[in-house]
Amino acid sequence: MDTPDLNLLIALDVLLAEGSVTRAGDRLRLSPSAMSRTLARLREATGDPLMVRAGRGLVPTPRALALREQTARLVQEAQAVLRPAATLRLDQLVRTFTLRVSDGFVEQFGAALLTRVQGEAPGVRLRFVQKVDKDSTLLRDGLVDLETGVVVQDTAPELRQQTLFHDRHVGVVRAGHPLARGRVTLARYTAGRHVSVARRGSSNAPIDDALAEHDARRDIAAVVSGFAAAVALARDTDLIATVPGAHTRRLREGMAHFPLPFATRDLAVAMLWHPRMEADAAHRWLRAAVKAVCAGAGPRR
């Protein structure tokens, strides 16, 4: 079956509105002969004369009258599709955004983000889901609107990303811990027992790679999958947690922290989204809100 020429819908809409081949041709900037040929094509496509002569003018057939309202609606809808999106009205926006983030992100930034969102768009709901791995399939499948995490080289190349802030690891111990006093040297750091953060259950982490460059290793007593759990264990034991400083600032309130006695790479924390959401006005607003609440979240000395 041949694909119909959808331009004929516009011609039919004008023809039915004007009730005259000549006036319809004027509106469509077609000559009378060209408009007559268009009417012939419409008759062939619909299998109906559409307009028949009555005295000096033309009158619509019953089929044409039945098509008038439907045709006008289709043309209006098509024109709406091809126009730029209407200006976003945040006070009228009703939408749920799903954000895939770590528990630490919710602890550190969740309240500020909710306050900002509710103040600007009270009809918006945020759904936080836990990020347990680096797989971005949920973004590609449209099940997640936005996710945050440390920038890695194997991030899916089609994803868009924007850096939110830079972070660096710090050592964290309970108040009153021996490492809470005095300068923490590499020897003092490695002499203690540690809680390691490893997403896939392995005890090895980037911190261990950095220590290996100094021919050093740490004694790992526990392995957890997230920074919140690491800080919680360090708060109530003598274990040492090594976590991103800015990302865990609220989590470790009341605890002691210290700069690591060896070099580590700064962490670039970014938000990621799928290109399909790039031009969505509401999504752009959400990204701006996340960027704003994370502003100034970098490491403090």
CA distance between the termini of the chain: 71
Fold of 90-167+268-294: D-Maltodextrin-Binding Protein; domain 2 (3.40.190)
- The pTM of the whole model exceeds 0.85: no
pLDDT of residue 301: 45
Using an 8 Å Cβ cutoff, are 165 and 298 in contact? yes
CATH of domain 7-81: 1.10.10.10
**Residue ranges, the chain, pLDDT below 50:** 301
Q: Which CATH architecture has domain 169-265?
A: 3-Layer(aba) Sandwich (3.40)
**Cα torsion 30, 32, 38, 43: sign:** positive
Query: What count of residues does the chain have?
Result: 301
Report CA-CA distances (Å) from 129 to 107, 110, 143, 145: 13, 12, 11, 11
Domain edges within the chain: 7-81, 90-167+268-294, 169-265
Distance (Å, rounded) from C-alpha 115 to C-alpha 94? Answer: 16
Q: CB neighbours (10 Å) of residue 93?
A: 16
pLDDT of residue 2: 67
Task: Tell me if 7-81 shares its fold with 90-167+268-294.
Answer: no
Give 61-89 pLDDT, tens digit per residue: 999 888 888 888 888 888 777 766 668 89
